[in-house]
Amino acid sequence: MNNKKMVWSMLLAGMALGTAWAIRGQFGHEQGAAWAGAIGSLSVLILAKRKDWIAKGLIATFAGAAGWGLGGMISYGILVGHGKSDDFYTAYYSFSTLFLVGGLHGFMGGGLLGAVLSDTKNKPIQWSLLLLEMTAGGIIFYFFIVEQLGLFLNPPRSEVWAVCLGVCAALYWHLYRNNHHAALRVALYAGLGGGFGFGFGNFLQVVGWVSKIHFNFWNVMEYSVGFFGGAGLCYGVLTSQWEKEEETRLPAKQLFHLSMVALIIPFIIWQQSFVWKKIQETYSPLLQGDSSFIYTSIRWFTLILIVGVAAYWINKYRNKGITEPLEIQKFFYSHWLLYTVLSLIITGAFISVYRIEQYLYLVNYLNVVAFIGKLTPDFQPTELKVSHSVKLLGIIAGILGISAWIAIQIH
């Protein structure tokens, strides 16, 4: 086993999803999380370099995007605010509930990505049944936990976390009882990584708040979610026992998945974020006045950019999909770069340096692009033992407890 290769793979996957999740801070909600989840999923596929996975890479990418995106429904702003409390139990409540929220993101994203990778001719995933069970699980958990028992995590905000908890429970049970242990392992470690990243990330935000350093420490927290979530996702994939396809099978249809990833999700981000009011609020202080022409130009230029890039990829791969590692690398570079450019535009960072974290996105991007194609995959198959995840959960709970104690001591 080559632990050095494993660490490098986890680092690059963490940087990819971490940067994308930080960019997501400009767009938010389900669509922002879905785009970030797609970038994280693509990075893991590139690092794995399995041709049978590349052949269904568009499906896997969309599944990962959908899983991470589902968590975008959850409200957590108040939970983050509790982290600034000078009471230990309130601060620990903040870090531990954010662990739950981040864990739900990662479990759904990792679980659905893993399910596609685990879907083989000899052991297929029953997708219709899985989606039905996840839907039923979300409905049942919400009405039982919130409406019946009255257990509120985030009052007075939305309690949709309970829906996501039900989705995760159904996903876990489906993968477990059908012996898709590799996919389940990916879900568990992506969930543990995402959860730790959110809880610990809020601790880093509190430290930054106390330091009075002029920097976007909310974005640091967002980066932490993606970094540890991506590292956990990569670790889960590279340490699972996967069935090897005897031959590379091309899925019959991939146009839907390509269109969702390359066009629909980006279009929803444009429709929700590049609105007149938001552009005006950002650019009026930067331009020292009103300029309707610039606002209009930004709005329509970004739409043309999104549609143009999507049209290129859809035209190129609408028939055969992406089948070669180099092809999926190019798609990954393009898709991530487009997300970064949209972030630079929506924040006005391309004409002002007031948002210095935006340029760190470019540094991360260039570093990942420089190395991700050069690594050879290092699979270290390990038997799934839920007890190991439980032990790791205990260690994380302890770390978050220490973080909460430190947080209340420094302010």
pLDDT in tens, 124-177: 999 999 999 999 999 999 999 999 999 999 999 999 999 999 999 999 999 999
Segment among 205-214, 245-254, 289-298, 337-346 with least mean pLDDT: 245-254
294 occurs within a structural domain? no
Give the C-alpha separation, 216 to 209, whole Å: 9
Residue 289 has pLDDT above 80, yes or no: no
Residue 273 has pLDDT above 80, yes or no: yes
pLDDT for 283: 87
Segment among 17-21, 213-217, 261-265, 387-391 with least mean pLDDT: 387-391
pLDDT for 1: 47
What 8-state DSSP symbol labels residue 376? P
Q: Where are the alpha helices (DSSP H) in 119-180?
A: 127-142, 161-177
What 8-state DSSP symbol labels residue 179? T
Closest CA to 116 of 38, 193, 35, 189: 38
pLDDT for 113: 98
pLDDT for 319: 79
Q: Are 23 and 36 contacting, i.e. CB atoms less than 8 angstroms apart?
A: yes
Residue 15 has pLDDT above 70, yes or no: yes
* Alpha-carbon distances, residue 361 vs 16, 67, 173, 219, 246 (angstroms): 10, 23, 37, 11, 40
Q: What is the distance of C-alpha 126 from the center of its chain?
A: 24
pLDDT for 251: 60
222 occurs within a structural domain? yes
Residue 276 has pLDDT above 90, yes or no: no
Residue 229 has pLDDT above 60, yes or no: yes
pLDDT for 79: 96
| Residues spanned by the domain of 391 | 3-125+180-253+356-409
175 occurs within a structural domain? no
The Cα angle at residue 224 between residues 222 and 226, in degrees rounded to 5:
75
Domain count, the chain: 1
| pLDDT digits 0-9 by tens, 305-355 | 999 999 999 999 887 778 888 999 999 999 999 999 999 999 999 888 888
Residue 293 has pLDDT above 90, yes or no: no
27 occurs within a structural domain? yes
Residue 169 has a CB neighbour count (10 Å cut-off) of 17
pLDDT for 252: 57
Q: Where are the alpha helices (DSSP H) in 25-76?
A: 29-48, 51-54, 57-70
Residue 156 has a CB neighbour count (10 Å cut-off) of 8
233 occurs within a structural domain? yes
pLDDT for 93: 98
Mean pLDDT of 191-208: 98
Q: Across the chain, what does the average pLDDT equal? A: 93
Mean pLDDT of 22-37: 94
pLDDT for 2: 59
First to last CA, the chain: 45
* Alpha-carbon distances, residue 316 vs 159, 238, 252, 256, 320 (angstroms): 42, 30, 16, 14, 9
143 occurs within a structural domain? no
Give the C-alpha separation, 263 to 28, whole Å: 17
Q: Are 89 and 408 contacting, i.e. CB atoms less than 8 angstroms apart?
A: no
What share of the chain in percent tops pLDDT 90?
81
Closest CA to 112 of 72, 152, 167: 167
201 occurs within a structural domain? yes
Segment among 338-347, 380-389, 401-410 with least mean pLDDT: 380-389
Residue 291 has a CB neighbour count (10 Å cut-off) of 13
**What sign has the CA pseudo-torsion 44, 50, 51, 52?**
negative
310 occurs within a structural domain? no
